[in-house]
């Protein structure tokens, strides 16, 4: 029985989650997010796709290409409307179109000038000037119209009006001298307008379909989509180790178990961890009066994988309760391996894991493949996904348990806006068409961005679909970016949902500890110390949110003292389990 590819067929038949719909809509709303999906997923076959939690990356990839094409089409039309007449010998028509574009740019600049304070335009004493925020996008046009030193706002407006009048006179003169060329330019302008209206209509129709379609995955997957689909559901995640540093000025107050960067790529922000891990000697029950060598189990009475399987079965009933009290929980096995280890030993990344291989990884403490029991609980259509990861190890006649919790928070509002009132339906289609036309001045300025799109298309056509299976010199295949993490709200800014998520984490944590205690007791292990430490963890209100842990009022050394005010309580410690 294979242990890695089993969930694939099940998840592909389910209705897309709200997170999947919002990410598909996000590539149309956010150009930077769209480029991130294309650059880091669609055209990066030499790196592994990060595991997907609560969403499906395949439809997001598909819509990213569609969004890029819809954005590149009007920009290409802008370039073609100017370059086309030049190549066909209609230079006057090209000048008319270029002059019209210049008027639109000046109009956009004049609108931006309305919100700029006159004092911010006054020349300063510094040799280097800093343009106000609304004018930075028009830096080249601003330098062309103004001298090296910025002038007051009134003079700026006067120069803009003067340039607009010269362009208008140029258009009028060419129209009088070359009436046929003017008609050709007018036809090109009408065609360009139609292109923008059609693009805006098409984009909104796609957003409406994303909102209502029961299935978002394409019926036939491309080669790259098939590779990404396999990797997002694969049990093994290849994480990226932080760069080696010999900097002696590192922050000494940083005391996190997993370092500055979480190795749980795709799972979200690391919000909670047992620091240090919980360890317990395997002592025989009811043997308090005997010496240590007689009390402890020389040979552990169980294998580590037996405890993992017992805990898996203990969590599954949470998902089988009635709908009113059910805690949705998905239990999986996750294996993490460093990209540098994979570069030396490719066998660490098999096509699939058999049950015997998985048990061998769990029972081997020094394995380069790190196993975690993964409990996932989604909320609000997977807009919030909490993941608990438990590592079990037996070494030195001691049971070692390590737990971490990660959270993926909600996507930006712009990704979800298509669900709001007035942002979908027939009226929204009409509004989107004319709203797209208003983006023409901006596309004139950024029409050169058609070239990166053509480069990405060529790159996608030339590169193989998956280069992570074949070793390549100096190429590491670890996942660099998770598109779900990049679009997730930071944990510190989550509001009312935070208490619900923390409650779920505590519920899973308490169940894991209680089940572990029952298992140890059934194997003849003294659980008194384990229960005491488990109680401290469960009642602990200290959560590590991934920030720097600041240590105050500490004393180190012989006879060291700390003066604490009588009216000020001493700060609590940071350890979750001791």
Q: What is the mean pLDDT of residues 442-446?
A: 89
Output the pLDDT for position 549. 44
Determine the pLDDT at residue 343: 92
Of 184, 178, 192, 168, nearest to 99 by C-alpha is 168
pTM reported for the whole predicted model: 0.83
Cis peptide before 256 (omega within 30 of 0): no
332 bridge partner residues: 374
Confidence of residue 7 (pLDDT cuts 50, 70, 90): very low
Q: In the chain, what is the greatest distance between 2 CA atoms, to the nearest angstrom?
A: 112
Q: What integer pLDDT is reported at residue 254 of this predicted model? A: 46
Q: Determine how many CB atoms are found less than 10 A away from the CB of residue 467.
A: 16
Query: For residue 360, what are its two tokens?
Result: 């061998």
Q: Name 52's Cβ contacts closer than 8 Å, sequence gap at least 6.
A: 232, 233, 266, 484
Q: Is the pLDDT of residue 455 over 70?
A: yes
Cβ-contact 60, 23 below 8 angstroms: yes
For residue 361, give both structure tokens: 């990884």
- pLDDT class of 545 with cuts at 50, 70, 90: very low
In sequence order, what are the beta bridge partners of 364?
Answer: none
- Res 481 pLDDT > 60: yes
**Beta-carbon count within 10 A of 220 CB:** 7
Confidence of residue 237 (pLDDT cuts 50, 70, 90): very high
pLDDT digit string (tens) for 166-195?
888 988 998 889 888 899 999 999 999 999
- For a pLDDT cut of 70, what percent of the chain falls above it? 81
Handedness of CA 322, 327, 328, 334 (dihedral sign): negative
For the chain, the straight-line distance linking the first and the last C-alpha, in angstroms and rounded, comes to 39
pLDDT over 80 at 200, yes or no: yes
Q: Output 151 or 418, whichever has higher pLDDT.
A: 418
**Tell me: the pLDDT tens digits for 103-145?**
888 888 877 777 665 555 554 444 445 555 555 555 555 555 5
Per-residue pLDDT at 569 = 45
Does the pLDDT of residue 221 top 80, yes or no? yes
Q: Which residue has the higher pLDDT, 454 or 88?
A: 454
* CB proximity list for 409: less than 8 A, separation 6 or greater: 268, 269, 383, 384, 488, 489, 490, 491, 493, 494, 497
Question: If you average pLDDT over residues 155-176, what whole number do you get?
Answer: 84
Residue 453 has pLDDT above 60, yes or no: yes
202 neighbors 208 (Cβ within 8 angstroms) = no
Neighbouring residues of 238: CB distance < 8 A, sequence distance ≥ 6: 48, 336, 337, 338, 339, 342, 349, 468, 477, 478, 479
| Whether 484 contacts 54, CB under 8 Å | yes
Residue 560, pLDDT above cutoff 70: no
Mean pLDDT of the chain: 84
pLDDT of 246 over the 60 cut: no
Phi, psi of 480 (to 5 degrees): -95, -40
* Contact of 364 with 384, CB cutoff 8 Å: no
Average pLDDT over residues 523-530: 90
Task: Give the pLDDT score at 155.
Answer: 74
Q: What is the pLDDT of residue 309?
A: 96
- For residues 54 and 540, give the distance between their C-alpha atoms in angstroms, rounded to a whole number: 29
- As separate numbers, helices (DSSP H) first and strands (DSSP E) second, the chain gives 20, 7
């Amino acid at each position: 029985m294979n242990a890695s590819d089993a969930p694939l067929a099940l998840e592909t038949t389910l209705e897309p989650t709200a997170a999947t719909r919002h990410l598909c809509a996000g590539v149309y709303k956010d150009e930077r997010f769209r480029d991130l999906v294309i650059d880091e997923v669609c055209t990066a076959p030499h790196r592994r796709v990060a595991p997907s939690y609560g969403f499906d990356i395949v439809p997001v990839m598909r819509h990213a290409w569609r969004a890029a094409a819809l954005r590149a089409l009007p920009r290409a039309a802008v370039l073609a409307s100017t370059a086309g007449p030049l190549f066909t010998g209609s230079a006057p028509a090209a000048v008319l179109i270029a002059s019209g574009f210049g008027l639109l740019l000046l109009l956009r600049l004049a609108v931006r000038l309305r919100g700029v304070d006159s004092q911010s335009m006054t020349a300063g004493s510094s040799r280097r000037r800093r343009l106000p925020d609304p004018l930075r996008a028009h830096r080249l046009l601003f330098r062309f119209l103004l001298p090296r030193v910025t002038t007051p706002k009134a003079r700026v407006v006067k120069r803009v009006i003067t340039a607009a009048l010269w362009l208008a006179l140029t258009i009028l003169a060419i129209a009088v001298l070359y009436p046929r060329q003017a008609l050709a330019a007018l036809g090109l302008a009408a065609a360009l307008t139609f292109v923008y209206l059609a693009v805006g209509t098409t984009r909104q129709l796609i957003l409406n379909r994303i909102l209502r379609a029961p299935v978002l995955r394409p019926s036939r997957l491309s080669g790259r989509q098939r590779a990404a689909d396999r990797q997002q559901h694969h049990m093994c995640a290849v994480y990226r180790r932080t760069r080696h540093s010999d900097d002696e000025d590192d922050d000494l107050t940083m005391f996190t178990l997993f370092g500055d960067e979480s190795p749980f790529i795709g799972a979200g922000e690391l919000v909670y961890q047992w620091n240090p891990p919980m360890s317990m000697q395997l002592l025989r029950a009811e043997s308090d009066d005997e010496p240590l060598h007689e009390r402890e189990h020389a040979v552990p009475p169980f294998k580590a994988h037996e405890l993992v399987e017992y805990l898996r079965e203990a969590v599954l009933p949470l998902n089988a309760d009635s709908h009113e009290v059910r805690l949705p929980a998905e239990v999986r096995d996750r294996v993490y391996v460093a990209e540098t280890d994979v570069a030396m030993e490719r066998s660490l990344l098999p096509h699939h894991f058999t049950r015997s291989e998985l048990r061998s990884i769990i029972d081997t403490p020094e394995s380069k493949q790190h196993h975690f029991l993964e409990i996932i609980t989604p909320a609000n259509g997977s807009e919030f996904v909490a993941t608990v990861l438990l590592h079990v190890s037996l070494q030195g006649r001691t049971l070692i348990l390590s737990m971490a919790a990660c959270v993926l928070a909600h996507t930006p509002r712009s990704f979800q806006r298509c669900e709001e009132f007035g942002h979908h339906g027939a009226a929204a289609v009409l509004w989107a068409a004319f709203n797209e036309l208003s983006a023409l001045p901006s596309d004139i300025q950024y029409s050169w961005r058609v070239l990166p799109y053509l480069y990405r298309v060529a790159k996608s056509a030339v590169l193989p679909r998956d280069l992570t299976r074949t070793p390549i010199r100096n190429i590491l295949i670890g996942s660099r970016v998770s598109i779900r993490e990049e679009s997730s709200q930071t944990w510190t800014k989550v509001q009312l949902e935070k208490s619900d998520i923390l409650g779920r984490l505590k519920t899973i944590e308490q169940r894991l500890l209680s089940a572990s205690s029952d298992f140890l007791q059934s194997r003849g292990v003294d659980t008194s110390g384990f229960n005491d430490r488990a109680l401290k963890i469960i009642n602990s209100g200290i959560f590590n949110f991934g920030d720097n842990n600041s240590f105050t009022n500490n004393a180190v050394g012989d006879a060291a003292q700390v003066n604490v005010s009588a009216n000020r309580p001493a700060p609590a410690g940071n350890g979750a389990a001791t």
